[in-house]
């Protein structure tokens, strides 16, 4: 012990007994409330709180005390810091933990820090989206390879009927397969196996209606089988496997400018790609069917997928009508489906971000409308150069693209019937006018698509401009 103990009346240290250790301890990790390891301050009773010590503690714990909404939170913090009842009484002059916690709560101003930014659950896989757009267009290489071997124009109605049927069936089957994926991979694989075979059979049977020859019917059957197998791989997210299956078409088309492959290779390469696609789809389905069966949860009703099939029918008719006049526009539109899917993910992610920063429903409605306008404008801006490069009319291609993208957006949120009805309302009259050569002729398609695009956008603003679909 060293140093005098002065307790004379009026002395500045009359309420403090200081005990100084002869030698300081080695440095060690200390609690934030321990100011000096070499000094132990003992408060004598009857002198009240030590305001200076409490203020120092409040400054040290300000970052943790500021966000507290009740003194009890501060009390829990002090307990976690290791403050005992003895230290609270003798060092800070408070009778108990809750008294000191209340004092700290009152001294530190309230702060409300922003929570850490959460990860975007809708962040898209850019490479996967672009790959899907390419995969949608690659099958056209089969027609490029086989074009010299048969009159494609003469047999086009057969392929168009089969293609429209496969498109509509594939949309409905894809929706039903995703519903079955909730139950398990085995159940979804069974749905895809049965549905794809039925779809290929239905498309081939309907292709015979325009009075087809045996050759055109065989080509329609091959097209339907490919679309069935490709749908299986795309629904189950096996894009790279499908790309590998289509590699014979890529190789064959790549050598055409420099080498004539001959009739055998012109037929053999598309046939090899078809067999590879069917083999890959069959292997994936076989592996899925070998998994464990899920408990019987009941099958979703068939009519739940009906609006998705009707949308596929309407979309196929609209694209077919555009392709009759401007075939290169269809290629540009097909390739743009990859960026379109990317923008669908971006819309969902940006809408969630807008919801986090919106304080009122009206504020979120404005932000949601701005996000919709940004995504749709970005998609159309991407298509505009493609339309000009291919010599297509932007006045028709851009409204058609807006219809397809906005309808897919609504379907992504489960709003299927409005998009199906509006697309059918555009495809029906436009198809009747163009196929029957009625007035106003080709001008009906841009007007029909434009009206449908405006109606779909209004529907999207009304239904998706509320917080509930995004929460």
For the segment 392-433, what is each residue's pLDDT rounded down to a tens digit?
899 999 999 999 999 999 999 999 999 999 999 999 999 999
156 vs 34 pLDDT, higher one: 156
Residue 338 and residue 128 in contact, taking contact as beta carbons nearer than 8 Å:
no
Buried b / exposed e across 425-436, counting CB within 10 Å, b at 16+? ebbeebbebbee
Q: Does position 390 have pLDDT exceeding 80, yes or no?
A: yes
Which range, of 115-119, 287-291, 460-464, averages the lowest pLDDT? 115-119
| C-alpha torsion angle, residues 392, 395, 396, 400 (rounded to 10) | 120
Which range, of 42-56, 276-290, 378-392, averages the lowest pLDDT? 42-56
Spatial CA neighbour of 172 closest among 420, 410, 418: 420
138-176: per-residue pLDDT in tens?
999 998 898 888 877 788 889 999 999 999 999 999 999
Q: Does position 41 have pLDDT exceeding 80, yes or no?
A: no
Give the DSSP letter of residue 465. S
pLDDT score, position 42: 52
Beta-bridge partner residues of 17: 42
Residue 352 and residue 465 in contact, taking contact as beta carbons nearer than 8 Å:
no
Distance (Å, whole) CA 265 – CA 101 = 85
pLDDT class for 47, splitting at 50, 70, 90? low
Q: Does position 1 have pLDDT exceeding 80, yes or no?
A: no
Average pLDDT of the chain, as a whole number: 86
Q: Which residues contact 295 (CB under 8 A, 6 or more apart)?
A: none
Calculate ∠ Cα 287-193-292, nearest 5°: 40
Detail the DSSP E strand segments found in 327-416. Answer: none
Residue 80 and residue 57 in contact, taking contact as beta carbons nearer than 8 Å:
no
Calculate ∠ Cα 23-26-30, nearest 5°: 115
Instruction: Enter the tokens of residue 114.
Output: 């922003």
């Amino acid at each position: 012990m060293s140093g005098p103990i002065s307790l004379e009346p009026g002395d500045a240290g009359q309420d403090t007994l200081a005990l100084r250790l002869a030698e300081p301890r080695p440095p060690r990790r200390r609690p934030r409330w321990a100011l000096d390891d070499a000094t132990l301050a003992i408060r004598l009773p009857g002198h009240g709180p030590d305001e200076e010590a409490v203020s120092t503690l409040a400054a040290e714990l300000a970052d943790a005390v500021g966000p507290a909404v009740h003194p009890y939170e501060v009390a829990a913090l002090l307990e976690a810091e290791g403050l005992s009842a003895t230290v609270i009484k003798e060092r800070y002059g408070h009778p108990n933990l809750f008294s000191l916690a209340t004092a700290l709560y009152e001294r530190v101003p309230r702060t409300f820090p922003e929570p850490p930014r959460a990860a975007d659950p809708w962040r898209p896989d850019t490479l996967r989206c672009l790959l899907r757009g390419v995969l949608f267009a690659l099958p056209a290489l089969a027609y490029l390879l086989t074009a010299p071997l048969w009159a494609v124009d003469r047999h086009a109605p057969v392929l168009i009927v089969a293609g429209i049927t496969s498109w509509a069936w594939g949309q409905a089957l894809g929706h039903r397969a995703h519903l079955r994926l909730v139950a398990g991979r085995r159940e979804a694989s069974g749905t895809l196996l049965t549905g794809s075979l039925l779809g290929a059979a239905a498309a081939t049977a309907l292709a015979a209606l325009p009075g087809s020859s045996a050759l055109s019917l065989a080509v329609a059957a091959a097209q339907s089988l490919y679309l069935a197998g490709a749908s299986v791989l795309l629904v189950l997210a096996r894009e790279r496997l499908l790309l590998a299956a289509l590699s014979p078409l890529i190789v064959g088309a790549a050598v055409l400018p420099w080498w004539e492959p001959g009739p055998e290779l012109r037929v053999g390469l598309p046939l090899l790609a078809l067999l590879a696609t069917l083999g890959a789809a069959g292997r994936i389905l076989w592996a899925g069917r070998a998994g464990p069966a899920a408990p019987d949860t009941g099958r979703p009703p068939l009519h739940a997928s009906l609006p998705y099939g009707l949308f596929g029918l309407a979309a196929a008719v609209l694209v077919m009508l555009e392709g009759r006049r401007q075939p290169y526009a269809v290629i540009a539109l097909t390739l743009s489906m990859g960026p379109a899917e990317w923008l669908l993910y971006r819309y969902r992610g940006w809408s969630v971000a807008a919801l986090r920063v919106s304080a009122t429903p009206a504020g979120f409605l404005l932000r949601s409308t701005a996000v919709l306008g940004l995504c749709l404008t970005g998609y159309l801006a991407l298509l505009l150069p493609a339309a000009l490069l291919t010599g297509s009319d932007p006045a028709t291609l851009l409204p058609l693209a807006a219809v397809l993208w906005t309808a897919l957006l609504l379907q992504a949120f489960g709003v299927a019937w409005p998009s199906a009805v509006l697309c059918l309302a555009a495809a029906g009259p436009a198809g009747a006018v163009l196929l029957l050569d009625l007035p106003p002729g080709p001008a009906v398609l841009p007007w029909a698509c434009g009206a449908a695009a405006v109606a779909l956008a209004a529907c999207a603003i009304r239904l998706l401009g509320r917080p509930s679909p995004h929460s």
